[in-house]
Amino acid sequence: MINPIPWFPGCGRLERYRNYDRIPSQEVIDGIEVFHPRFPVVPKYFKFFDAISYRAVVLPLVQRLYSTYPFDLIDLHWTYPDLPAGVALKEKYGKKMLVTLRGKEAFHIGEGRIRERLIRKNLLRADAVISLSKELQAMAVGVGVPENRCRVIRNGVDTNTFYYMDQAECRRKLGLNEKEKILLSVGSLSMGKGFDRLIKSIPMLLEQDPKWKMYIVGSHGPAGDCRDMLDRLVEHYSLQQKIIFQGTVKNAELPFWYNAVDIFCLASRSEGSPNVLNEALACGCPAVATNVGAVEEILKDRKLGVLVGNSADAIRDGLLVALKSRQWDRHGIAAYQRKFDWHWCADRVIAVYNLLC
């Protein structure tokens, strides 16, 4: 596995690139040898240069490795700056190339004509394209990828980590009030995650039942930080005692949160295949989620939660439906979601490998 790291002098001092300089040049993760070559970038500017520098560090590394590791397939998990390097490797070694589309961001729409043209041109060179949702597959076909080269394989979930536990015990572990009704949302504090729309829904919930409280788990991420705006919304609606920004939570603690709360909400404006939704369901937590990315496929069984439109009003109405409709079968939700673990996902990816090789 080759995982190139963007680099420029002093990159570790910028928030977005924090700790990048601490990543080793080579390591072993779960028995897999991983290489982290550095490719020079100019933050925010000259992004066309990223593809050139990326290719310049990846190709020599692959050439050095090929004598001891003659690979059969090139498997890319992003489009830019990865695709130009992938196509160069495909031509040099005569191997098939697979690309996985993990979100609309993979098309870099509106981020510069050079990038958009490079992605469109090189995506057509892929021998197979995996999309995390039907929506992404339609976008790939829309730019010219033949439909017979496309597959939809959404993310799986780590059921060894995320599984059903007793709600009362989880609340005690986290120090949460056992009598409160708790809503949870998880994600980076960016506009794309829709926390602003969720906050606007809380007054209506409180009118129905004043015992509700919402916890938001997450912090700023590469897509931007809108915490100040969210704080202003909370203050505007006088929800300081009802909405808690929990900050970053260790992955090992997330299962306790999913099991402790009453409802999980994904209010995203855009998604690929949201891991947090899979994780919540694997813990037996019913969900209210906007119909974006692979969410419709994940919430195909309405016993799992409520699928809503991509708007603030739809989120509010969906939450009211989830609260009023019935008692959710948390054991049943967890049992259903266990079928869609990472082994389920891997089997489908391997089937694509076998078709290409």
Cβ atoms of 293 and 135 closer than 8 Å:
yes
Alpha-carbon distance of 190 to 226, in angstroms, equals 5
Q: How many CA atoms lie within 13 A of 88 on its CB side?
A: 17
| Phi/psi of residue 11, nearest 5 degrees | -60, -30
Q: Mean pLDDT in each 10-residue stretch from start to end of the chain (357 residues)?
A: 93 79 93 96 86 96 94 96 96 97 88 84 96 94 95 96 97 94 94 94 90 90 75 94 93 96 95 95 97 93 94 93 85 96 97 95
Helices 82-93 and 113-123, axial angle in degrees (round to 10): 30
DSSP state of 104: G
Q: Which pLDDT belongs to residue 227?
A: 87
Rounded-to-integer distance, Cα 204 and Cα 185, Å: 17
Q: What is the pLDDT of residue 334?
A: 97
307's CB contacts (< 8 A; 6+ apart) are 289, 291, 295, 296, 299, 318
Rounded CA separation 172/231 (Å): 28
Encoded tokens for 328: 């959710």
Task: Give the per-residue pLDDT at 342.
Answer: 96
214 beta partners: 183, 243
pLDDT at 45: 80
CB 258 within 8 A of CB 97: no
Tokens of 95: 């191997």
Domains of the chain in sequence order? 46-156+346-356 (3.40.50.2000), 167-339 (3.40.50.2000)
Q: Report d(CA 235, CA 286) in Å as an integer.
A: 28
Per the listing, tokens 């596995």 go with 1
Q: What length is written for the chain?
A: 357
Q: What six digits make up the tokens of 137?
A: 């597959």
The predicted structure's pLDDT at residue 46: 84
Phi/psi for 2 (5° steps) reads -115, 120
Nearest to 190 by CA among 249, 269, 112: 269
